[in-house]
Amino acid sequence: MKNKDSREMLNTKFMEISSMSFSDIKLLKKNPYCDIYQAKSSDELVIVKQYALQHQNLLIDEAKSIKLYHETINDRWLDCRVLESFPQYGILIMSFVPGISLSQFIYRSDKTQKEQMLENIFSLGKLLRLLYSSTETVGSIDNFFYEYIEYCQQKLGEVHGIRKYLVQRYKIKKVPSIKTSTISFSHGDFVPANIHISDSSVGLIDFANSNHRGHIINDLINFTIAINNMFISKKWKKHILNAIHEGVGELAISPQVKNIFYAFHYYRWLMLNINSKSPFALVNVWQNAQRFSWI
């Protein structure tokens, strides 16, 4: 066994615990919370996430959201379902969502595929709408969003030198909280890397940041920022964003709710870029002071 393979096999505890049998195990990625494997089980591909035990709660949330997704969508979209879940061992096994990511699709597609892609993105908008209409309710937005805004603002207050000067180009102000409003499920990381496309179907993966007391607007803003950050023409960005909005359809969202999620992304974007080691990120901060003009 090659060195790399033995390292990859090291943590595959799920093989002992699960009742499924696995072959062709491949480590796809490690992130701060879990190791992500792809494997074959009864001739089907599966994904296994092995969470660090202290992040057991993330696993429980992710499993709950995959279940919601599976029960909400129909065969127009690519399905994902929980196959087995062992929170006590940090193991979550889910079905494999075929296709390539929307980011790969966007960068790879030639002119002839663009029409198809806009149809896919329209369908993605419809999917988002469906998730919204089936979870929309009245309640209070999860405190997590307010706490994260405060955390970012605190981090932004701690920067020095040129960074401090850059931050001064932005408005840092208290975001008023609201007692009750319309809330809904939100995926929480609704970016092209977590959207899969296979032929004419789209589907979602990576529910680790989902929230049942969020709002659809959270996902739409996330998607907009991610598309705007891509290295594609302005015209093409506009087509993509128009297609998703068309798919979602009319939305009546109170300005106060919008403000919270815009602020969440605004401060998050600013904090991540200002603390980045890449000089490109700092230039980005310098150049984009006007971009979030809706705050």
Residues in touch with ligand ADP (CB under 6 A) = 28-29, 31, 36, 47, 80, 94, 96-97, 193-194, 205-206, 208
Query: Taking CB within 5 to 8 Å according to partner kind, which of ligand ADP, Mg ion, none is near residue 62?
Result: none
Query: 205 to 224, contacts with Mg ion by CB under 5 A?
Result: 206
Give whichever of 47 and 106 is closer to ligand ADP, judged by the CB atom: 47
Quote the distance between the C-alpha of residue 4 and its chain's center.
29
Query: Taking CB within 5 to 8 Å according to partner kind, which of Mg ion, ligand ADP, none is near residue 31?
Result: ligand ADP
Q: How far is the CB of 284 from Mg ion (least distance, A)?
A: 22
Whole-Å CA distances, 275 to 148, 166, 288: 16, 11, 15
Q: Could you tell me which residues are beta bridge partners of residue 26?
A: 38
Q: Where are the alpha helices (DSSP H) in 18-159?
A: 56-72, 102-108, 111-133, 143-157
Q: How far is the CB of 197 from Mg ion (least distance, A)?
A: 15
Q: How far is the CB of 80 from Mg ion (least distance, A)?
A: 13
Give whichever of 194 and 222 is closer to Mg ion, judged by the CB atom: 194
* List 194, 201, 209, 273, residue binding Mg ion (CB under 5 A): 194
Binding region for Mg ion (CB under 5 A) out of 19-27, 34-42, 192-200, 274-282? 192-200
**239 phi and psi, to 5 degrees?**
-60, -45
The rounded distance, in Å, linking the Cα atoms of 93 and 248 is 30
* DSSP state at residue 176: -
Q: Where are the alpha helices (DSSP H) in 162-254?
A: 162-167, 216-228, 234-248
Under 8 Å between Cβ of 95 and 80: yes
Give whichever of 156 and 204 is closer to ligand ADP, judged by the CB atom: 204
Give whichever of 186 and 194 is closer to ligand ADP, judged by the CB atom: 194
Positions that interact with Mg ion (CB under 5 A):
194, 206
